[in-house]
Amino acid sequence: ALLTELAGATPTMLLDDIINTVNGVIYVALNAVEDGLKGTPAEQIGFAQGGQDGKALRDGEVTAESMEEAKNDEIANGMVRLETLLNSSIDRTMDRFEIYTARNILTVGDEGLLPYVVLDHYR
């Protein structure tokens, strides 16, 4: 109750804002990675014109259009996997952060400090 009065918000609201901010930054970062990959030529990502050294294409016919389509499919699949792994890792880490912060940082213990903290509107 003391921290809520001092800060003007509950500790849970602060933690939720931090977690939402982290998720927003991750979303922006993933979009930047995807845009960067889509802007890179297919040959630089590993798709070769001959098909031997790069990713295998569907048909025997290798064209710039089929390479671009294969590149976009690979990027889309990879981004889904990356997003899933990143979200899973961040969720676990944010859960630990939330528990630690709520227990150790955003609490006022019973060590006798509470009687000495008097807010202006209680004087």
- pLDDT for 54 equals 45
Q: Is 115 inside a domain boundary?
A: no
Could you give the count of Cα atoms lying within 13 Å of 106 in the half-sphere of its Cβ?
Answer: 19
Residue-range definition of the domain harbouring residue 75: 2-107
Q: Is 116 inside a domain boundary?
A: no
- pLDDT for 53 equals 46
Q: Is 72 inside a domain boundary?
A: yes
Q: Is 70 inside a domain boundary?
A: yes
In the chain, how many domains are there? 1
Q: Is 15 inside a domain boundary?
A: yes
Question: Per-10-residue mean pLDDT for the chain, 123 residues long?
Answer: 71 91 97 96 79 51 80 95 97 96 80 70 69
Q: Is 118 inside a domain boundary?
A: no
- pLDDT for 47 equals 79
Pick the closest to residue 89 from 81, 99, 101, 100 (CA basis).
81
Q: Which residue has tokens 């609490």?
A: 107
